[in-house]
Amino acid sequence: MAATLPLFHLYGDPPDDQAFDFIHVETIASRSSIHDWTIRAHRHRNLFQILLIERGGGEMTYEAAKLPFAAPAAILVPAAIAHGFHFEPNVTEGWVMTFTEDAALSLADRAGEALSRLRALAAHPIIPIADGGELARLSALCAELFEEASLAREGYRMSMRGLLALIAVGVARLAASRARTGSVTLRPADTTVAQLRALVDEFFRGEHQLGFYAGKLGMTVDRLNDHVKRATGVTAGHLIRQRVLTEAKRQLVFTTQPIQEIAQELAFSDPSHFARFFRKHTGTTPHQFRDHGGG
C-alpha cells in the first residue's frame, strides 16, 4: 500500500486542479492492459468518469467496498471518490470517458439534469444494461466520441461536448429505469444539500461542528437540520460524520499512514477520541477495520 491514497488527473498523471472543459475518452484495454488489467485505488479531485463495459467484467473498488460487475453495464465514478478496478484480463472491452463536469453542464439544461441524476447514483455506481439496442447505441456514441478526439477536425470540441451529453443522458435514462424498479431512488438535487456537501468536502478535516456549516449557509442549526432531513432522510450532522468516516476508511484501507496521524489530520484531539468515534459509527475499531481490509 502507498503512504497516502494517490490523487491523479488521468490514472498515473499528476493532478490538474485547473482542468476546465476537459473531455478524454479511451478504451479500457489501452490503459489497464499495461498495468496487468488492474487500476489501483486512487481519486480524481475534479473529474467525473463513465465506463461502458461491453464485454468481460471484473471487480470494482468503491471506497472501502468491493463490487463485482459484468458486461453489459455502465459504471459511474463521481469526482473525489476512491476507486479502482480489476478487469478480466484480455477479455474486457469497453470505454472510459473522463471529463470535468463543466464540459457537459455548459451545453443545456438537459445535459445538466442528466449529470445531476448521475451524481445521485454515487452509492450505486454499477448500472446493468439489459437492452441490447441501448448498449449498441451507447457503444456507437463512445466510438464516435473517440473518433472526434482522435481526428481533431474543425468543430471537434463542440461535437465532443454534444456526444458526451448524449451519453450522459442515455446512462441517466438507464438509471431512471432502474429507479422505477425500486432498486435505486433518484431525487432531484437539493441546492442547500449540495452546498452543504461542498462545504463539508472543503472543511471537514478541521470542522466537525454543524454550527460552523449552518453559519456558512446563513441558517440556524435547527433550520439546516430540518431542511436536510426532509431532503435526504438523514440529519445534516449525519452527512458531516459520514464524510469524516469515509475519509478515515480510505486512509485505513488504502494507505499505511499511522492511525495517530489519521486522527490528527481529521481534527480529533487524540487517537482515543478518534477510536471511540469510529467504533460508535462502524461497530469496529480502526485497527480491526484496517486488519480486515475494510471487510
pLDDT in tens, 61-94: 998 889 999 999 999 998 888 999 999 999 999 9
- Residue 62, C-beta contacts closer than 8 angstroms, at least 6 positions apart: 81, 82, 83, 125
Mean pLDDT of 171-200: 73
* Residue 166 or 119, more confident: 166
pLDDT in tens, 30-70: 999 999 999 999 999 888 999 999 999 999 999 888 999 99
Give the model's pLDDT for residue 177: 75
As a whole number of angstroms, the distance between CA 290 and CA 295 comes to 9
As a whole number of angstroms, the distance between CA 295 and CA 289 comes to 7
pLDDT of 111 over the 60 cut: no
For residues 75 and 127, the answer to whether their CB atoms sit within 8 Å is: yes
Least confident of 72-86, 131-145, 170-184: 170-184
Confidence of residue 136 (pLDDT cuts 50, 70, 90): very high
pTM, to two decimals:
0.77
Judging by DSSP bridges, how do beta strands 65-70 and 48-55 pair with one another? unpaired
In a 10 Å sphere around its CB, with 0-12 CB exposed, 13-18 middle and 19+ buried, how is residue 144 labelled? middle
pLDDT of 186 over the 50 cut: no
Q: Which amino acid is at 226?
A: D
pLDDT in tens, 220-253: 999 999 999 988 788 999 999 999 998 999 899 8
**How many C-beta atoms surround the C-beta of residue 138 within 10 A?**
24
Percent of the chain scoring above 90 in pLDDT: 62
pLDDT of 98 over the 70 cut: yes
- Residue 171, C-beta contacts closer than 8 angstroms, at least 6 positions apart: 50, 74, 76, 114, 118, 127, 138
Give the model's pLDDT for residue 188: 54
Least confident of 12-16, 47-51, 284-288: 12-16
How far is CA 51 from its chain centroid?
12
pLDDT of 113 over the 70 cut: no
pLDDT in tens, 203-214: 999 999 999 999
For residues 129 and 173, the answer to whether their CB atoms sit within 8 Å is: no
Confidence of residue 165 (pLDDT cuts 50, 70, 90): confident
Give the model's pLDDT for residue 287: 94
For residues 73, 78, 79, 84, the Cα torsion angle rounded to the nearest 10 degrees is -40
Give the model's pLDDT for residue 90: 97
For residues 229 and 235, the answer to whether their CB atoms sit within 8 Å is: yes
For residues 56 and 93, the answer to whether their CB atoms sit within 8 Å is: yes
For residues 117 and 175, the answer to whether their CB atoms sit within 8 Å is: yes
The full length of the chain comes to: 295
**How many C-beta atoms surround the C-beta of residue 215 within 10 A?**
13
pLDDT of 121 over the 90 cut: no
For residues 224 and 206, the answer to whether their CB atoms sit within 8 Å is: no
